[in-house]
């Protein structure tokens, strides 16, 4: 049973490989092309090319007498006297069959007409007339249906040919019908050995110059091409080519011939055994099998390339063989299959070279990492490791673009020590990632610490040494997709930086039931997927007027079984599992909707949206804001982005660029929780803030603690000196409210004014406040 399961798994893996899938798609598309005949003009071009490959001589059994005519009232009128003389001479020759592919009409001389009729009767079974049975597609085709005076009692064949939209004729049908009578085609009658239902596919490789031919007047004079000496077994008397009665030759010469020549070429094709079709599926099937063998059997790219070259060569060989044998087929079908396959493979290779490669370093990017490991059978046995390069922007500023790539490649090479076959991926910002087999490193923490120590040695680029500073994050959690493992490894790398712990493995920290609960994580994933995240608005009051002028959007999640989950708890979960961007995007979209709803109700407050300082490490947050602005009609001037203090900002230069781009979009930027943690004077001085929010720790103590009041007073004065709006949060009593108003703080928010509330309740509160003469009665 295990062996059977292994074989089934191997078969499934083979069937689902990318190359096999591309080959199957290409073959299906080729079959659709065959059914639609959309590439028929290209097939015609190939047929014309094949006609020029071989110059086949005519059999000499069929000759052609060209007779001049006059075009009178749309009829081709010939000289009956000359035709009668020619028939008399042919009757005395060795010609066994005579085909009159000319119209026979009565002339002005009954004697001449009787003479012609007499010659026709004298020839008996040796002579056959041709008639137009159905209209030809060419608009200028002549009517060559003979007068019953001559055709009555005579053998008759159809001289119809089908002319395509380009003016070519490619095939001769077996017979045509008029009313209840069926008429053999001229070509089939000339060939004799062709089945009554077989279409002759004309081979234009037959040399027209080798067909015995003469003009009727020359033949009568006996000057040249005397059929009595050349002795073709069959002679076709046809109209001489002119601007009216002619068909374009499909041999690429650009010449024109009479329809009689087309019938002779068709008959010559049948005489040497050509003119048969090779149906498209008979041609596609062997090439399809060969292509599938090529994409499956070879184990190396070199062998596959040899196989592809052989496959293309086989098409060329088949093209030549078909031309030599006069066999007609749709070569565009296998060609289109090859083209489709090449396009699909080329697209993948383009993605690998351009879309899956980080251009600066030449290393595969994180999209390539997820693509390479998306369907890995041993994903649970792999640990994803992310290395964060500290101060990369500062080092890059000293290097040329070429040297920057060299610097990154040297670090990546260090990370592969002891595992040369390992691939290292770069996200284009400051993270390198790779995977290791978990079972190979029972002491993963020690291994990563040693690897970091080795990789953190300085590297030499263009003769100059440059420092390397790395922190590592890893995730070895089973049962997760590669995307989740990568996200958690990135979060672990960020946490290692924040804790000043150089190596951090996700899930290896001490158990915290309330903070690291996998049940909570699963429910959070479901809530994000089902869009169960909502917002509430907490009003912000202008202290000078007492009016509501803004609100902070606070994220809320009410779980069906646990009730309301503390925001701090599930925000931390989003950070740890790499879903913080998803959460921020949802809060932003809902906040924009709330702002638009307020505006429709005649109120345009400033809406503050929280963004973690972790999200200032690159421009993703700017791109997110830009996308949401494009989807919404919100006025960006009414939106404030609050940078929350959830992590230390190491790269202030990047954070400054991000904040400047946010302000360039028309939004304000606020520093939240100022005065505690990382929201310090250094950050305030470096980043382009337009608003400062006082932390509730000092606000709530200012009424009872002189030190806290002094700190608040200094912060308010600092904000005014820097032309920043000052907002105090955590206002819960009237004494604090009055003190803030007294010292000149601009705005306040807290439970004294209102708790966070749904958007509709917020609008109702604004409506009531506007209709009230006593604003202060709403507070306290």
Q: Where are the beta strands (DSSP E) in 560-645?
A: 563-564, 606-612, 639-644
* Cα 240 from Cα 90, distance rounded (Å): 19
pLDDT of residue 572: 67
Residues near 633 by Cβ (< 8 Å), separated by ≥ 6?
596
Query: Looking at residue 769, what is its pLDDT?
Result: 86
CB 388 within 8 A of CB 430: yes
The pLDDT of residue 153 = 84
- pLDDT(230) > 90: no
The token duo for 519 is: 């049940």
Give 283-296 pLDDT, tens digit per residue. Answer: 889 999 999 998 88
Query: Tokens at residue 687, please?
Result: 């980043």
Tens digits of residue pLDDT in 350-380: 777 777 888 888 898 888 888 888 767 778 8
Q: How far apart are CA 171 and CA 199, in angstroms?
A: 7
Residue 759 has pLDDT above 50, yes or no: yes
Instruction: Record the pTM.
Output: 0.51
- Name the fold adopted by 366-506: Alpha-Beta Plaits (3.30.70)
Note the pLDDT of residue 512.
42
Confidence of residue 549 (pLDDT cuts 50, 70, 90): very high
- Using 50, 70 and 90 to split pLDDT, how confident is the model at 256? confident
Cβ–Cβ < 8 Å for 169, 250: yes
Predicted confidence (pLDDT) at residue 663 exceeds the cutoff of 90: yes
Confidence band, pLDDT 50/70/90 cuts, at residue 595 = very high
pLDDT of residue 215: 85
Lowest mean pLDDT among 18-27, 144-153, 337-346: 144-153
Three-state DSSP class for 290? Answer: helix
Domains 366-506 and 518-768 share a fold: no
pLDDT band at 98 (very low <50, low <70, confident <90, very high): very high
Between 465 and 501, whose confidence is greater?
A: 465
**Mean local confidence (pLDDT), 484-493:** 86
- Residue 11 above 70 pLDDT? no
User: Could you give the C-alpha distances from 463 to 361, 392, 399, 403, 652, in angstroms and in order?
Assistant: 19, 19, 12, 11, 29
Strands 277-278 and 328-329, how do they pair? parallel
Closest C-alpha to 569, from 537, 521, 641: 521
What was the pLDDT predicted at 327? 87
Q: State both tokens at 40.
A: 């028929």
List, for residues 393-450, the tens digit of each pLDDT value.
888 888 998 999 999 999 998 888 766 678 899 988 889 999 988 877 777 888 888 8
CA distance 654 to 642: 17
Please list the residues that pair with 641 across neighbouring strands. 609, 669
Quote the pLDDT of residue 241.
62
Domain boundaries, the chain: 2-50+278-355, 57-271, 366-506, 518-768
What would the CATH number be for the domain defined by 518-768? 3.20.20.450
Q: Under a CB-based contact definition with an 8 Å cutoff, are residues 168 and 138 in contact?
A: no
Give 710's contacts (C-beta < 8 A, 6+ positions apart).
none
As a whole number of Å, the CA-based R_g of the chain is: 45
């Amino acid at each position: 049973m295990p062996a059977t399961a292994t074989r089934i798994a191997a078969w499934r893996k083979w069937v689902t490989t990318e190359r096999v899938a591309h080959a199957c798609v290409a073959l299906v598309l080729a079959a659709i092309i065959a059914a639609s005949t959309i590439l028929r003009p290209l097939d015609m071009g190939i047929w014309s090319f094949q006609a020029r490959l071989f110059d086949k001589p005519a059999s000499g059994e069929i000759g052609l007498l060209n007779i001049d005519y006059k075009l009178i009232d749309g009829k081709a009128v010939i000289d009956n006297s000359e035709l009668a003389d020619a028939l008399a001479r042919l009757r005395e020759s060795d010609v066994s069959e005579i085909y009159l592919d000319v119209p026979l009409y009565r002339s002005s001389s009954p004697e001449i007409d009787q003479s012609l009729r007499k010659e026709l009767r004298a020839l008996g079974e040796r002579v056959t007339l041709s008639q137009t049975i159905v209209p030809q597609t060419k608009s200028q085709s002549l009517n060559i249906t003979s007068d019953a005076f001559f055709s009555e009692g005579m053998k008759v064949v159809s001289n119809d040919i089908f002319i395509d939209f380009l003016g070519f004729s490619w095939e001769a049908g077996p017979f045509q019908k008029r009313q209840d009578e069926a008429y053999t085609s001229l070509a089939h009658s000339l060939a004799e050995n062709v089945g009554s239902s077989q279409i002759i596919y004309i081979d234009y490789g037959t040399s027209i110059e080798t067909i015995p031919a003469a003009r009727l007047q020359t033949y009568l004079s006996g000057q040249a091409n005397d059929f009595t000496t050349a002795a073709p077994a069959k002679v076709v008397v046809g109209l001489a080519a002119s601007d009216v009665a002619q068909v374009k030759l499909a041999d690429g010469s650009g010449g024109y011939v009479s329809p009689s020549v087309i019938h002779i070429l068709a008959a010559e094709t049948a005489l040497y055994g050509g003119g048969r079709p090779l149906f498209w599926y008979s041609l596609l099937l062997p090439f399809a099998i060969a292509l599938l063998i090529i994409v499956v059997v070879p184990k190396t790219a070199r062998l596959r390339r040899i196989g592809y070259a052989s496959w293309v060569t086989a098409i060329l060989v088949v093209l030549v063989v078909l031309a030599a044998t006069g066999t007609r087929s749709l070569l565009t079908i296998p060609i289109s299959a090859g083209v489709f396959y090449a396009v699909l493979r080329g697209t993948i290779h383009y993605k690998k070279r351009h879309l899956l490669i980080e251009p600066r370093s030449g290393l595969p990017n994180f999209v390539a990492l997820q693509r390479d490991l998306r369907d890995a059978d041993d994903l649970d046995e792999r640990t994803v490791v992310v290395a964060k390069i500290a101060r990369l922007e500062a080092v890059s500023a000293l290097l040329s673009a070429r040297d920057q790539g060299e610097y990154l490649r040297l670090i990546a090479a260090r990370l592969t020590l002891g595992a040369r076959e390992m691939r290292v991926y770069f996200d284009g910002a400051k993270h390198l990632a790779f995977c290791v087999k978990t079972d190979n490193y029972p002491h993963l923490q020690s291994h990563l610490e040693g690897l970091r120590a080795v990789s953190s040695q300085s590297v030499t680029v263009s003769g100059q040494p440059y420092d390397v500073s790395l922190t590592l994050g890893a995730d070895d959690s089973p049962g997760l997709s590669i995307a989740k493992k990568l996200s958690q490894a990135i979060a672990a790398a960020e946490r290692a930086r924040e804790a000043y712990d150089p190596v951090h493995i996700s899930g290896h920290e001490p158990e915290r039931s309330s903070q690291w609960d996998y049940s909570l994580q699963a429910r959070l994933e479901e809530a994000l997927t089902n869009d169960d995240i909502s917002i509430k608005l907490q009003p912000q009051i202008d202290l000078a007027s007492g009016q509501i002028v803004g609100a902070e959007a606070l994220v809320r999640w009410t779980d069906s079984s646990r009730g309301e989950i503390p925001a701090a708890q599930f925000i931390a979960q989003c950070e740890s599992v790499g879903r913080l961007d998803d959460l921020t995007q949802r809060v932003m979209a809902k906040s924009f909707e709330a702002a638009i709803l307020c505006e429709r109700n005649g109120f345009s407050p400033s809406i503050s949206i929280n963004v973690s300082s972790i999200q200032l490490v690159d421009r993703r947050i700017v791109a997110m804001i830009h996308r949401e602005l494009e989807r919404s009609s919100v006025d960006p001037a009414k939106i404030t982005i609050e940078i929350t203090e959830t992590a230390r900002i190491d790269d202030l230069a990047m954070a400054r660029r991000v904040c400047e781009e946010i302000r360039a979009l028309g939004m304000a930027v606020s520093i939240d929780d100022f005065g505690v943690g990382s929201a310090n004077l250094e950050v305030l001085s470096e980043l382009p803030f337009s608003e400062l929010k006082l932390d509730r720790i000092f606000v709530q103590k200012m009424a009872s603690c002189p030190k806290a009041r002094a700190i608040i007073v200094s912060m308010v004065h600092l904000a005014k000196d820097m032309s920043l709006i000052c907002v105090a949060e955590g206002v819960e009593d009237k004494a604090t409210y009055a003190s803030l108003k007294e010292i000149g703080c601009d705005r306040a928010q807290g439970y004294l004014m209102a708790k966070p509330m749904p958007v509709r309740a917020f609008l109702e509160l604004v409506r009531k406040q506007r209709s009230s003469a006593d604003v202060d009665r709403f507070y306290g």
